Amino acid sequence: MRVTVILAAACLLLVPSSRAEKSEVALPGAKTNPFFALCMDMHDAKKRTLEQQAELLKELGYAGAGHVWLKHVPERLKTLDEAGLKLFQIYTRVNVSPNNERPYDPALKEILPLLKGRGTQIALLMSGLGRSDVAGDPRAVELIREIAGMAEASGVRIVLYPHSGDWLERVEDAVRVAEKVNRPNVGVMFNLCHWLKVDEEKNLGPLLESAMPRLFAVSINGADRAAEIRKGKGNWIQPLDSGSFDIYAFLKALKDLGYSGPVGLQCYGIRGDARDHLVSSLSAWKEFQERLGD
C-alpha cells in the first residue's frame, strides 16, 4: 500500500515561475507534462538499436527519449526524428577538480549546433571533489558559464543533474550553484531516485519550493520509501507502478507548484525486456494524469 508523502502546505501556494520550461511535446492523455524515457536501453535484455528504441517509444506513446553521453547523438536524433519524437536531454559529465585539463568532453562543442531549435537540454553530472563541497563552487561556476555560453547560440538549456555520490549530489547543491552561475539558460533537475538516497521525505515540500524558480526538468520512477532505501532495504528504481513511495502525491505537488516542464522516466538498472516495464510505467503515468485532472 502506498503511503502519502506529506508536503508543506505553503509550497502548494507558490506562484508558477516564468523560468519553468513549458511543454513542447504533449503525451496523448497528459494534462501538461511531456513524458519521456531515459536509460531505457542500458539494461534492456533485447539490446535494441537506436532505431528500434525509437520505434518502441513511438508505439507505446512516449513523447521521446533522453540520451546518455555524447556518442551517437546524430543517430539518436535521426531515429527520433523519423519516429516523430523528441530528444529531451543529453547527459554528460563535468569534473570540477582544480587544474583538470579535460573537465568535460570536447565533443560537446560539436554536438550543440545539432540541437538548435529542438528544445533539447544538456544535463550536467558533476564530480571531481567531495560530496557537496562548496570549495568546488568557483570552478563549477566557471565551467558551467563556459558551457552555457557555448549553448546559448543554439538556444540550448543547461540543467544541473544531482546524482548521489557525486560532488553535485543534492538538489540544494544544484540550486546554490545555478544561482551563482546566474544565466537564464541554466537551471536544475530534480531526480527522484537520487533524492531518495540522500534526503528525508519531510524535506520534500520546501525543497521543491526552493527549486521551482530554476526547475527545468524532473525524473521519476517507482521506488520504496527514502528511509528504507537509505537503510539498504528498499529498491530505489522500479517500474512506475511499483514501490511504497507515493508517486501520485509527488506529481500532485509538482502540479500545484505550477511545474509544466518535461518529466523523464528513469529506467536505469531495470532488467528484462524494456517493453515490459515501459508498458507498465506508461499505464501508471496515464492513471496518475487522470487523477490529477479530477
Q: Reduced to 3 states, what is the DSSP secondary structure of residue 157? A: strand
How many distinct structural domains can be found in the chain? 1
Asked if the model's pLDDT at residue 151 lies above 50, the reply is yes
pLDDT tens readout for residues 4-47: 433 333 333 233 333 333 334 333 334 569 999 999 999 999 99
Q: Is position 4 within any domain?
A: no
Q: What is the mean pLDDT of the chain?
A: 91
Range of the domain at 52: 9-287
Looking at residue 184, the DSSP 8-state letter turns out to be T
pLDDT tens readout for residues 194-240: 999 999 999 999 999 999 999 999 999 999 999 999 999 999 999 99
CATH of the domain at 259: 3.20.20.150
d(CA 41, CA 275): 10
pLDDT at 147: 98
Q: Is position 2 within any domain?
A: no
Q: Is position 292 within any domain?
A: no
Is the whole-model pTM more than 0.85? Answer: yes
Q: Read off the C-alpha cell for 174.
A: 544544484
Total count of residues recorded for the chain: 294
pLDDT tens readout for residues 82-121: 999 999 999 999 999 998 999 999 999 999 999 999 999 9
For cell 540541437, name the residue: 115
Q: At residue 288, what are phi and psi to the nearest 5 degrees?
A: -60, -40
